Amino acid sequence: MEQAKEDKVVVRGLEGVVAGETRISHVDGANGQLYYDGYNLDELAGRTSFAETIYLMWYGKLPTPAELRSLRSRLVAEMRLPTQIVTMIQLTPPGAHPMCVLRTIVSALGMFDPDVEDMSDEANERKALRLTAQVPTIIADLHRVRTGQPLLSPDPKLGFAANFLYMFRGATPDAVEEKAFDLTLMLHADHGMNASTFAGRVTVSTLADLHSGLTSALGTLKGPLHGGANERVMEMLMDIEHPDVVESYIQGMLENKQRVMGFGHRVYKTEDPRARHLRGMSKQLCERAKVPHLYEISERIERIVKERKGIYPNVDFYSATVQHALRIPKEYFTTIFAAARTPGWLAHMREQLADNRLIRPTSRYTGRYDLKWVPPEQRT
Ligand SMILES: CC(C)(COP(=O)(O)OP(=O)(O)OC[C@H]1O[C@@H](n2cnc3c(N)ncnc32)[C@H](O)[C@@H]1OP(=O)(O)O)[C@@H](O)C(=O)NCCC(=O)NCCS
């Protein structure tokens, strides 16, 4: 039987496809602007903390001081992990990538959360709060376990971001470090319908629980074309070693058609505004941490890639040196991105559930039809 030829149009990589509506954030790629629920990032960056940004994404307005205090203390109070989860972290193989551990432990947390199967909005709000608070603790505990240091409990006197850094490194961050880390988290909090956000929304559109959605999002962020790029940026900077060899190194990469990690973006056709904020922070922190050459190397790479390829740094480029200067080992960079994006992912998943329709696209079939089954001994 002759089959009708499929005339469906395939949009490779779903570029430009509008897959849903959201009020949470908007990437204006043509003008290089990012909006968090109505506010231009430039209006908020440096003024609005990560916790305030979480409040904005979840409740649609900036919090009053009392609302912010309440959110902060609820987040810090939820940072503890069940003992069995801590044991699981201790049992993970030392060579496993931290993103692999984080994805697995978030999935495992679903077995311990009393609300996991309750998909009411109230229960999902409680889970969103808990998961946002628990993800940093998983990352901090993993690092402490691997470096043979005691695990730390959150300090109720510190804010959410400061607690994260304190539990990870074991020393209370000074004011500059706290501000830089908080801003780094705030700049990564949400970013429209990116690959991991879409993955999380697809998962919960089947009415699977939030832990499943977050696990999907984490698995998607891990790839080097998405959140995994920041770690690769640091590897490249370490490999380059000295500003004088940037020119030949990058030229060699471009000639070999290699991608320079931390550059290019599906939506931004001009500068990523997050990179602009991170660049300033990178300069300040690299000087403070006595690694100014890393900033200098980064700046030179940016100039050359812009000149030769016409592409700009994305969020992953300068966040690498910022995190390095904050004494975060490179294998944790993507997990820090994940912790920052967790409240954004959860906001999207709850938004999806508030007006849900199963996300189920179709495909163009390129296979054959009506082949006849052949017994194994007659196959060639
Ligand atoms: C982010 C990214 C995946 C977007 O990909 P995309 O929208 O599918 O864009 P394409 O892969 O179609 O690239 C378009 C062109 O730009 C080039 N390009 C894009 N990013 C590049 C990079 N980082 N280095 C060198 N060239 C790059 C491609 O080679 C291609 O050039 P061509 O048309 O001459 O072949 C891509 O820019 C990339 O791989 N960047 C590096 C990884 C990274 O930093 N990811 C973090 C994103 S926040």
In angstroms, the Cα distances linking 109 to 2, 88, 134, 215 are 52, 10, 9, 10
Map residue 368 onto helix, strand or coil.
coil
Question: Of 113, 190, 272, 316, which one is the catalytic site residue?
Answer: 316
Question: Considering the domain boundaries, does residue 7 fall inside one?
Answer: no
- If one counts every other C-beta atom within 10 angstroms of the C-beta of residue 355, the result is 8
Map residue 26 onto helix, strand or coil.
strand
Report how far residue 223's alpha carbon sits from residue 261's, in angstroms, rounded to the nearest whole number: 12
In ligand 1, the atom with minimum distance to the C-alpha of 315 is: 48
Question: Considering the domain boundaries, does residue 243 fall inside one?
Answer: no
Question: Considering the domain boundaries, does residue 84 fall inside one?
Answer: yes
In angstroms, the Cα distances linking 264 to 9, 31, 185, 260, 302 are 26, 15, 21, 9, 11
Question: Considering the domain boundaries, does residue 148 fall inside one?
Answer: yes
Pocket test for ligand 1, best of 236, 311, 315 (most atoms within 8 A of CB): 311
Q: Count the residues in the chain.
A: 380
Question: Considering the domain boundaries, does residue 370 fall inside one?
Answer: no
| Residue 167, burial from CB neighbour count under 10 angstroms (0-12, 13-18, 19+) | buried
Cα 108 to ligand 1 centroid, rounded to whole Å: 34
Q: Is 288 in the pocket of ligand 1 (CB under 6 A)?
A: no
Whole-model pTM: value is 0.94
316 is catalytic: yes
Contact indicator for 139, 147 with CB cutoff of 8 Å: no
Question: Considering the domain boundaries, does residue 105 fall inside one?
Answer: yes
Overall domain count for the chain: 1
Contact indicator for 177, 158 with CB cutoff of 8 Å: no
Q: Is 316 in the pocket of ligand 1 (CB under 6 A)?
A: yes
In the chain (380 residues long), the average pLDDT of successive 10-residue segments reads 71 95 97 97 97 98 98 95 98 98 98 97 98 98 98 94 97 95 98 98 98 98 94 96 95 96 94 96 97 97 96 96 98 98 98 98 96 98
Q: What is the pLDDT of residue 38?
A: 97
Structural domain of residue 127, as residue ranges?
Answer: 46-51+59-174+189-217+332-354
Report how far residue 309's alpha carbon sits from residue 146's, in angstroms, rounded to the nearest whole number: 40
Residue 160's domain is classified under what CATH number? 1.10.580.10
Q: What is the pLDDT of residue 1?
A: 53
Q: What is the pLDDT of residue 20?
A: 94
> How many separate helices (H) and strands (E) can be counted in the chain?
16, 3
Q: What is the pLDDT of residue 8?
A: 87
Question: Considering the domain boundaries, does residue 80 fall inside one?
Answer: yes
265 is catalytic: yes
In angstroms, the Cα distances linking 323 to 233, 304, 335 are 11, 23, 11
- If one counts every other C-beta atom within 10 angstroms of the C-beta of residue 307, the result is 9
Question: Considering the domain boundaries, does residue 35 fall inside one?
Answer: no
CB within 8 Å of 317: residues ≥ 6 apart: 230, 233, 261, 262, 263, 275, 278, 298, 301, 302
Report how far residue 57's alpha carbon sits from residue 54's, in angstroms, rounded to the nearest whole number: 5
